[in-house]
Amino acid sequence: MDMTHRKYAAYDLSGNFTLGSLTIPFSAVGTLDLPRMPRIFLEMVNIENLSLQGALLRCRLAIDNPNAFDLNFNSLEYTIKLGGTTFFRTSFTPEKPIPGKGKTTMNVKINTLFSNIGLGAYQLLKRSKTNYNLIGLFKIDALNGE
């Protein structure tokens, strides 16, 4: 089975614990739930500021945590490139943890330059297809939810 689609990992631990002249054998077999990536949906986009150079967009993201434990994002960074040109880049730190098996929304601000959008559009018009990249970095702490 492909490891990226597994929901659990099996374990089989055994050994001996020695304390002075006393030896205690131990054995444990079971499964451990593997963390899964949260699902992120774009709910809304508003133009907050518009200039000749670019735009500041305010987006609302809905985040669904499929894990049994809370997720605390230390930071979220991502870049979208179109035809090798950065379309936009943003980073933020969410205000609150996402509860286990829960959902939350977050507001994110995105700065974009029209010159970059124009270069990306030009790449699309120049060719019948172009490459795109979505590069993201999540830094997450798992909280035990107590």
**Contact between residue 8 and residue 32 where contact means Cβ atoms under 8 Å apart:** yes
Q: Break the chain into its structural domains and give their ranges.
A: 3-33, 39-143
On the question of pLDDT at 146 being above 70, the answer is: no
pLDDT in tens, 13-26: 999 989 889 999 99
**CB 98: neighbour CB atoms within 10 A?**
22
Could you give the CA distance from residue 91 to residue 89 in angstroms, rounded to a whole number?
7
Maximum alpha-carbon separation in the chain? 80
In DSSP terms, 121 is beta-bridged to none
Let me know the angle formed at the C-alpha of 145 by 143 and 146, rounded to the nearest 5 degrees: 120
**Contact between residue 96 and residue 74 where contact means Cβ atoms under 8 Å apart:** no
> Which of 122 and 21 is assigned the larger pLDDT?
21
Give the residue from 78, 71, 133, 124 showing the smallest Cα distance to 100.
71
Tokens of 78: 């991502």
What is the pLDDT, as a whole number, of residue 139? Answer: 74
> Which of 86 and 31 is assigned the larger pLDDT?
31
Q: What is the pTM of this model?
A: 0.58
Could you give the CA distance from residue 91 to residue 77 in angstroms, rounded to a whole number?
4
pLDDT in tens, 50-90: 888 888 888 888 889 898 888 887 777 777 777 677 777 77
What is the pLDDT, as a whole number, of residue 144? Answer: 55
Instruction: Identify the CATH number of the domain defined by range 39-143.
Output: 2.60.40.10
E-assigned strand segments in the chain: 8-19, 22-33, 39-50, 54-64, 70-82, 85-92, 103-113, 132-143
